[in-house]
Amino acid sequence: EVQLVQSGAEVKKPGESLKISCKGSGYSFTSYWIGWVRQMPGKGLEWMGIIYPGDSDTRYSPSFQGQVTISADKSISTAYLQWSSLKASDTAMYYCVRRGYGFSYYFDYWGQGTLVTVSS
Protein backbone atom coordinates (compact mmCIF):
# COMPACT_ATOMS: atom_id res chain seq x y z
CA GLU A 1 0.00 0.00 0.00
CA VAL A 2 1.35 3.40 -1.02
CA GLN A 3 1.63 5.78 1.93
CA LEU A 4 3.00 9.26 2.47
CA VAL A 5 3.40 9.99 6.17
CA GLN A 6 4.18 13.55 7.18
CA SER A 7 5.76 14.94 10.33
CA GLY A 8 3.60 16.46 13.04
CA ALA A 9 2.18 19.92 13.57
CA GLU A 10 4.58 22.76 14.29
CA VAL A 11 4.21 26.05 16.15
CA LYS A 12 6.96 28.54 15.43
CA LYS A 13 7.77 32.23 15.85
CA PRO A 14 8.42 34.62 12.97
CA GLY A 15 12.04 34.48 11.87
CA GLU A 16 12.58 30.89 12.99
CA SER A 17 13.61 28.11 10.64
CA LEU A 18 11.68 24.92 10.01
CA LYS A 19 11.99 21.66 8.09
CA ILE A 20 9.01 19.33 7.71
CA SER A 21 9.16 15.83 6.29
CA CYS A 22 7.25 13.32 4.20
CA LYS A 23 8.17 9.63 4.25
CA GLY A 24 7.07 7.46 1.36
CA SER A 25 6.48 3.72 1.53
CA GLY A 26 4.86 0.96 -0.47
CA TYR A 27 6.44 1.96 -3.78
CA SER A 28 9.80 2.77 -5.37
CA PHE A 29 10.53 6.17 -3.79
CA THR A 30 13.17 7.08 -6.36
CA SER A 31 10.86 6.49 -9.33
CA TYR A 32 8.18 9.10 -8.66
CA TRP A 33 8.31 12.86 -8.23
CA ILE A 34 7.18 14.15 -4.82
CA GLY A 35 5.59 17.57 -4.53
CA TRP A 36 4.29 19.98 -1.91
CA VAL A 37 0.93 21.77 -1.84
CA ARG A 38 -0.01 24.64 0.46
CA GLN A 39 -3.49 25.33 1.81
CA MET A 40 -3.85 28.52 3.80
CA PRO A 41 -6.70 28.66 6.35
CA GLY A 42 -10.05 28.60 4.57
CA LYS A 43 -8.40 28.85 1.15
CA GLY A 44 -7.69 26.69 -1.87
CA LEU A 45 -4.80 24.49 -2.94
CA GLU A 46 -1.53 25.98 -4.21
CA TRP A 47 1.21 23.97 -5.87
CA MET A 48 4.61 24.85 -4.43
CA GLY A 49 7.11 22.65 -6.19
CA ILE A 50 8.32 19.15 -6.83
CA ILE A 51 11.43 16.99 -6.57
CA TYR A 52 12.60 13.77 -8.20
CA PRO A 53 14.26 11.81 -5.39
CA GLY A 54 16.26 9.74 -7.85
CA ASP A 55 18.54 12.65 -8.75
CA SER A 56 17.12 15.57 -6.68
CA ASP A 57 15.99 17.46 -9.80
CA THR A 58 13.65 20.15 -8.46
CA ARG A 59 11.04 22.51 -9.86
CA TYR A 60 9.46 25.44 -8.01
CA SER A 61 6.31 27.42 -8.62
CA PRO A 62 7.29 31.03 -9.36
CA SER A 63 5.22 32.04 -6.31
CA PHE A 64 7.43 29.97 -4.01
CA GLN A 65 10.85 30.14 -5.71
CA GLY A 66 13.33 31.54 -3.20
CA GLN A 67 10.83 31.29 -0.34
CA VAL A 68 11.23 27.60 0.46
CA THR A 69 13.64 24.75 -0.24
CA ILE A 70 12.54 21.28 -1.32
CA SER A 71 14.95 18.40 -0.80
CA ALA A 72 14.96 14.62 -0.48
CA ASP A 73 17.01 11.86 1.12
CA LYS A 74 16.48 8.76 -0.97
CA SER A 75 18.34 6.58 1.50
CA ILE A 76 15.43 6.98 3.94
CA SER A 77 12.64 7.60 1.37
CA THR A 78 11.92 11.05 2.76
CA ALA A 79 11.22 14.42 1.18
CA TYR A 80 11.50 17.74 2.97
CA LEU A 81 10.14 21.26 2.81
CA GLN A 82 12.09 23.90 4.64
CA TRP A 83 12.03 27.57 5.50
CA SER A 84 15.00 29.63 6.66
CA SER A 85 12.96 32.48 8.13
CA LEU A 86 9.25 31.94 8.73
CA LYS A 87 6.62 34.63 8.38
CA ALA A 88 3.13 34.77 9.81
CA SER A 89 1.84 34.35 6.27
CA ASP A 90 3.44 30.88 6.13
CA THR A 91 0.72 29.67 8.51
CA ALA A 92 -1.01 26.91 6.56
CA MET A 93 -1.55 23.20 6.08
CA TYR A 94 1.14 21.65 3.89
CA TYR A 95 0.55 18.43 1.98
CA CYS A 96 3.10 16.26 0.27
CA VAL A 97 1.91 14.51 -2.87
CA ARG A 98 3.13 11.80 -5.19
CA ARG A 99 3.01 12.70 -8.86
CA GLY A 100 1.38 10.02 -10.93
CA TYR A 101 1.19 10.00 -14.70
CA GLY A 102 -1.08 8.99 -17.52
CA PHE A 103 -1.54 11.34 -20.45
CA SER A 104 -0.47 14.07 -18.04
CA TYR A 105 0.67 14.45 -14.46
CA TYR A 106 -1.59 14.39 -11.42
CA PHE A 107 -1.28 13.78 -7.69
CA ASP A 108 -2.41 10.25 -6.96
CA TYR A 109 -1.41 9.99 -3.29
CA TRP A 110 -1.45 12.65 -0.59
CA GLY A 111 0.08 12.83 2.83
CA GLN A 112 -2.14 13.56 5.82
CA GLY A 113 -0.88 17.15 6.00
CA THR A 114 1.35 19.09 8.37
CA LEU A 115 -0.14 22.17 10.04
CA VAL A 116 2.39 24.96 10.44
CA THR A 117 1.44 27.86 12.69
CA VAL A 118 3.67 30.92 12.80
CA SER A 119 2.81 33.36 15.55
CA SER A 120 4.63 35.65 17.91
Partner 1 sequence: SYVLTQPPSVSVAPGQTARITCGGNNIGSKSVHWYQQKPGQAPVLVVYDDSDRPSGIPERFSGSNSGNTATLTISRVEAGDEADYYCQVWDSSSDHSLFGGGTKLTVL
Using CB under 8 A, list all residues that contact partner 1: 35, 37, 44-47, 50, 59, 61-62, 95, 100, 102-108, 110-113
| Residues 111/97, Cβ–Cβ less than 8 Å | yes
Smallest gap from Cβ 86 to partner 1, in A, equals: 23
* Residue nearer to partner 1 on the CB measure, 77 or 114: 114
How many whole angstroms from its chain centre is CA 29?
A: 15
Cα–Cα distance for residue pair 4/113, rounded to 1 Å:
9
* Residue nearer to partner 1 on the CB measure, 13 or 43: 43
* Residue nearer to partner 1 on the CB measure, 15 or 106: 106
Work out the end-to-end distance of the chain between its first and last CA atoms, rounded to an integer number of angstroms. Answer: 40
Smallest gap from Cβ 93 to partner 1, in A, equals: 9
Single out the residue of 120, 113, 119 nearest to residue 81, CA to CA. Answer: 113
Smallest gap from Cβ 62 to partner 1, in A, equals: 8
* Residue nearer to partner 1 on the CB measure, 8 or 102: 102
Smallest gap from Cβ 2 to partner 1, in A, equals: 11
- Helix or strand or coil: residue 17? coil
Element of type H or E holding 81:
strand 78-83
